[in-house]
Chain A
Amino acid sequence: MKFYVESLTKCSQRLGTLSEIEGKPSVAIRTPAVMLHTQKLSQGGQIPHITHEVFRLVSRKPQILQIPLAGMHTFKEAIQYYEGTISSFIGSKDSLSCLTLQDPCNITKQGHHSSLKVPIWTKNGKVYYDAKSYMDVVESFKPDMYFLLSDGDTNISSSEKRVSKSVSNTISFYKDCLERHRKSEVLKHSFVIAPVVGGYKHLAREKYIEAMLEDVRDVDGFLIDGLHNNGPETEFLEFHEIEPIVQCIVDKLPVEKLHVVQGCWNPVNIIGMVELGIDLFDTSYCHILTERSAAMTFAIEPTERTNAYEINLRDAKYVDDFQPILLGCDCLSCAIMCTITCDSLKK
C-alpha cells in the first residue's frame, strides 16, 4: 500500500490517496478519511451494533477497519492456526485492516507500566505486550496496516516524568518493531504507521521525532499518539488545547507520509485537525454518541433541515414524533428510524 499526497505544504489541509494495495489493486481510499472503529472486549473486529452485512446496506465502498489489539487478544492463539488474514477472519475480507493497540472508545487506565511493556485490557484482564510479543501477533494477523507498539499513556496533564518515560519506551519499541518488520516476509506489504509520543510537551515531542527520523525508511505514516487516554472524555477536549501540540508535531513530520490521529473527537476538532494536515481518523465518536442514545443532527448536505447539533432519543418528547432523525438525510437510519426508536425504547 502506498500513500500519495497532492500538496506538500506543511500544516495545511491536503488531499491524498491510499492505493496500490496488495491483493486489492482496484481499491483506492481518498483522504482525509475515517477508519471504521471496531470494538474491543472480545467483540473483536465488529463495528459496534453493525455486522459487516448490515454495513453493506450503508455503503459498499471499500473501508479500513480499525482493529484494536485489545479486542483481538482473545484470538491470539487461534489465529496462529488460521491461514487467512485478519480481515477474512473477522468476516470482512473485502475491507482493509488497520491493527491498533488500544480501543479509542474505552479509557486506557493510567499507570500499570512495566519497563518496556505496555498493558492492554482484555476480557480476561490486563495483559502485557513487549515489542517481540506484539510483533508476533502482528505477523499472525497479517494486517494491511498497523501501528508500531507505543507507550502512549499521556494526556494534557501528564507529568514530565511520565512523558519522558513514554518517549524512552516508545523509542525502544520503535527500533525493535521496525527491525522485526524489515525481517518479516509476511509483513512486507503491510503499511507501517509509527506512533509519535511525548504528551503535550513540545520538547519531548521534538526529541522523539528527532530520534525516530534518524531511521525512518519503511515507515509509511505517523500516528499522533499520547494526546489523550481514549474513552468518551476525548470528545470534550477543546481545539485550542490540542492545536499547538498537533501543529508542532505535524510541522516536524515528513510531509509526504500519512498523518493519523485516533480517538472519539468531536466534529469541530476533526475539522480543525484536517486543516492542520491530518489525513486519517476513526469513527469511535459515533459509538460513544450511540451509547448515550444520541444522534447527530447538524446539517452536512444542503438538503438537510435541522436546528440542533444532536438529539437524544431517550427524550420523552420523541415518543410520538414520527419524523426521521434528520429530515432530508438519506442514511439507512433515517430510512429505518422507527427501528431505532424501538431499540431505544427497549432499554
Chain B
Amino acid sequence: MTTTKSPLIFNIVAECPTSKARVSRMTLHHGSVDLPVFMPVGTQGTLKGMLPEQLEKLGLQIMLANTYHLGTKPGPEILEQAGGLHKFMNWNGCLLTDSGGFQMVSLLKLAEITEEGVRFQSLNEHKAEVMLTPEHSIGIQNAIGADIIMQLDDVVKTTNPNKKRIEESVHRTTRWLDRCLKAHKKPDTQNIFPIVQGTLYEDLREQSAKDHIQRDVRGFAIGGLSGGESKDDFWRMVHLSTDILPKEKPRYLMGVGFAEDLVVCCALGVDMFDCVFPTRTARFGCALTRTGQLNLKKEQFKKDFRPIDENCPCNTCKNYTRAYLSGIVTVLPVACHLITEHNLVFQMSLMKDIRESIKTNKFPQFVAKFMLDLYPDKNYPTWIRDSLSAVNIKLL
C-alpha cells in the first residue's frame, strides 16, 4: 500500500482581520508557493528574455505557460517524449497552464463554439479546421504536465451584453468542467481548477461559483474579467466571487497584473494572479515603479543617470541608468531582458510586501500608503475607494 500525496495542499498562514486578504502556502508537486502570488507568463515554455536559472535566482516559485501555443508547437507528442514541459524547458519550479480556450477566442476570428468544443482554423500551414474539446485540452495539459491546469471554459467577451448567451456559457462551462474532470489522466500530480464565469451578471456568477464548488477540486479560478469592463463592475464581480468560493481553497483571478489591481484584489481575498502585462510592457520599454510607470523611450530620460528605482534590489537597478536603458530600449533584445528583470522583481516584491504586511497585521496601512504613493494628490479613482471601503480599508 502506498499513500498518495495530495497534489495540492493549501494552508492559511495569516489572515487580515479587517479585509478578506490572507497569506497562505500552497504546496504543489514541484514545490511550494507563497500566496498571494503573481505568476508571470512564459507563453511558449520560456519567459522571454529570462533564463530559468535567473528566475530561480530571483526566487520565482510559479509561472504560467499557454496550452494553445505549446499544443501547436512543439505539440503534445514531443512534450510527452521530453517528459513534460518542466524537463523540456529546464524549469524545476511550479507551472500552471491555461486551457487554450481563451487564445482560440482572442487570437482567432474564426472560432465557433458548440457543445462539443471550440472549432477554429488552425494556425499551421494546412489551415485545417480543428476542434478543441474539453477532453483534448486536458490531454494536451496532461502532456505538458503543469502542477495546476485549467478547465476549458466557454469564453464570452466580458462586455457582451447578451445575457442569454452568457447564461448558456455559464452552464456549458460547468458541463465542460465535468468532462475535463472525467478526462483527467494525472490526478496525482496535476490539479484542475474550474473557472467561474458569468461576465458581469451577479446572478450568473453566483450560479457559476455555486455549481463549481460542488465539484471535488482543490482550487478555483475567476475568469471572464479583465476584458475591457469598467473597474466598477470588475471589483464587484471579484468581491462577489470570493464571497462564495470556499476559504480553505486557493482563488485565482485570471489576467490581472496591474499593481493597484493586485493590491485591491488581495484585499478582496484573491490568492493568485497572472498577466502578460509586466513582461510585455517591459519589451516595449516601460518600467514599473510604485509611483507609476516610466516609459524609458521618452526624451526626458536621455540624461537621467539614476536607476529606474533607487530602492529596487534588482540587477538592472544596481547596474544601469535610465539614460543607458533609454538609449537601448526597443531596439534589440537585451534591453528587453534588463527591463523584464526589473518588472519581474517589481511584481514579486510587491507581492512579498503584501504578504509581509498581512503577516504583521498591517495590511490596511500598507494599502493606504501604497495608494497614497500612487495618488499623492489623493485623487483616488472611485472604484479604488469603493472596493477598499467594501472590505473596511480606509484611504489616507
Contact = CB atoms under 8 A, between A and B. Distances in A.
B90 A43 contact: no
Contacts of B333: 48-49
Contacts of A93: 319
A248 interface: no
B341 A339 contact: no
Interface in A110-127: 123
Nearest to B336: A51
Contacts of B327: 42, 44, 74-75, 78
Contacts of A61: none
Contacts of B88: 338, 341-342
A78 B323 contact: yes
Contacts of B2: none
Contact of B46 (A48, A74, A81, A342): A342
A313 interface: no
B89 interface: yes
B302 A41 contact: no
B334 A51 contact: yes
A53 B318 CA distance: 11
A166 B334 CA distance: 35
Contacts of B89: 338-339, 342
Contacts of A336: 51-53, 90
A89 interface: yes
A322 B79 CA distance: 11
Contacts of A4: none
Interface in A6-50: 39, 41-50
A347 to B, nearest CB: 11
Given A44-B328, A89-B324, A339 B46 contact: yes
A43 B332 contact: yes
Contacts of B319: 52-53, 91-93
B143 to A, nearest CB: 13
A245 to B, nearest CB: 34
Interface residues of A, number: 42
A82 B323 CA distance: 9
A47 B328 CA distance: 13
A339 B90 contact: yes
Given A54-B51, A57-B51, A320-B81, A342 B324 contact: no
Interface in B287-305: 302-303, 305
B73 interface: yes
B78 interface: yes
Contacts of A82: 305, 321, 323
Contacts of A331: none
Contacts of B53: 57, 332, 336
A64 B238 CA distance: 54
Contacts of B73: 345
A113 B90 CA distance: 51
A53 B334 CA distance: 11
Chain B binding surface, main DSSP class = helix
Interface in A313-338: 319-320, 322, 332, 335-336, 338
A78 B303 contact: yes
A249 to B, nearest CB: 34
B303 A81 contact: yes
Contacts of B246: none
A214 interface: no
A89 B303 CA distance: 12
Nearest to B75: A319
A130 B90 CA distance: 50
A90 B325 CA distance: 9
Contacts of B323: 75, 78, 82, 89
Nearest to A93: B319
Nearest to A83: B305
A343 interface: yes
Interface string A290-327: 00000000000000000000000000000110100000
A185 interface: no
A75 B74 contact: no
B315 interface: yes
Contact of A48 (B305, B328, B334): B334
Nearest to B49: A51
Contacts of A53: 54, 315, 319, 341
B46 A89 contact: no
A43 B331 contact: yes
Contacts of B78: 319-320
A40 B339 CA distance: 19
B74 A319 contact: yes
- Listed residue (A42, A92, A123) with the most chain B CB atoms within 10 angstroms of its CB: A42
B324 A91 contact: yes
A346 interface: yes
- Listed residue (A51, A82, A346) with the most chain B CB atoms within 10 angstroms of its CB: A51
Given A74-B327, A75-B323, A346-B44, A339 B52 contact: yes
A50 B81 CA distance: 30
B320 interface: yes
Interface string B48-81: 0001111000000000000000000110001001
26 contacts: A39-B332, A43-B328, A44-B328, A45-B328, A47-B334, A49-B334, A51-B334, A54-B54, A57-B54, A75-B323, A75-B324, A77-B302, A77-B303, A78-B323, A78-B324, A81-B303, A81-B305, A82-B321, A89-B323, A89-B324, A335-B90, A336-B52, A338-B88, A339-B46, A343-B46, A346-B46
Interface of B: 44-46, 51-54, 73-74, 78, 81-82, 87-90, 302-303, 305, 315, 319-321, 323-324, 327-328, 331-335, 337-338, 341
Given A53-B315, A82-B305, A90-B324, 6 more contacts: A45-B328, A47-B334, A48-B334, A78-B327, A338-B87, A345-B73
Interface of A: 39, 41-54, 57, 74-75, 77-78, 81-83, 89-93, 123, 319-320, 322, 332, 335-336, 338-339, 341-343, 345-346
